[in-house]
């Protein structure tokens, strides 16, 4: 960011970078877990739909980590350089897939729990950045909208699994 771009950020930048970095770690962990669950679900006719939704959602989470990384770097920070630090950096830890990959309901509930955590994180960041950092604000509100959609899509599966 240039001089004026920095000037309009009215928040403690290291603190903001730390918030964004925690969210960045959450996104990688969600992307990995969703993609993994999409790869292993088997055993029922509906599995193909659930697998496709898991993998599509994983792609959204990967986009989110990319968008967060761009903002972190433009604020002068670095995302997480060491992969083994992702879990300790994250807000919510790893959304561990259930042991039984045939337990669709447990899979769906794992995703819903992660999405609710993400909604809380971006809602809080939206409030924190409002009027203080319009670019980060725009980004977190955009991501928040997608997390709200994710929760809704997986909640609507609960009646069917």
- Contact between 39 and 161 under an 8 Å Cβ cutoff? The reply is no
- Contact between 26 and 111 under an 8 Å Cβ cutoff? The reply is no
49 or 76: whose CB is closer to Fe ion? Answer: 49
Smallest gap from residue 7 Cβ to Fe ion (A): 30
Strands (E), 52-153: none
41 or 121: whose CB is closer to Fe ion? Answer: 121
Smallest gap from residue 117 Cβ to Fe ion (A): 10
Distances (CA, A) of 56 to 4, 32, 51, 123: 38, 12, 9, 23
22 or 150: whose CB is closer to Fe ion? Answer: 150
24 or 104: whose CB is closer to Fe ion? Answer: 24
Residues that bind Fe ion (CB under 5 A): 27, 61, 64, 115, 147, 150
Smallest gap from residue 66 Cβ to Fe ion (A): 11
Least Cα distance to 60 among 155, 151, 160, 133 occurs for 151
């Amino acid at each position: 960011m240039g001089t004026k771009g920095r000037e309009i950020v009215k928040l403690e930048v290291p603190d903001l970078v730390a918030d964004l970095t925690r969210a960045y770690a959450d996104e990688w962990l969600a992307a990995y877990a969703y993609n993994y669950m999409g790869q292993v679900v088997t055993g029922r006719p509906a599995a193909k739909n659930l697998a496709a939704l898991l993998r599509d959602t994983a792609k959204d989470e990967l986009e989110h980590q990319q968008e967060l990384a761009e903002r972190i770097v433009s604020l002068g920070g670095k995302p997480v350089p060491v992969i083994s630090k992702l879990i300790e950096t994250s807000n919510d830890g790893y959304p561990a897939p259930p042991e039984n990959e045939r337990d669709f309901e447990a899979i769906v509930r794992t995703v819903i729990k992660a999405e609710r955590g993400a909604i809380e994180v971006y809602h809080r960041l939206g409030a924190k950045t409002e009027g203080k950092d319009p670019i980060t604000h725009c980004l977190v509100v955009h991501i928040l909208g997608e997390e709200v959609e994710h929760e809704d899509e997986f909640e609507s599966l609960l009646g069917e699994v």
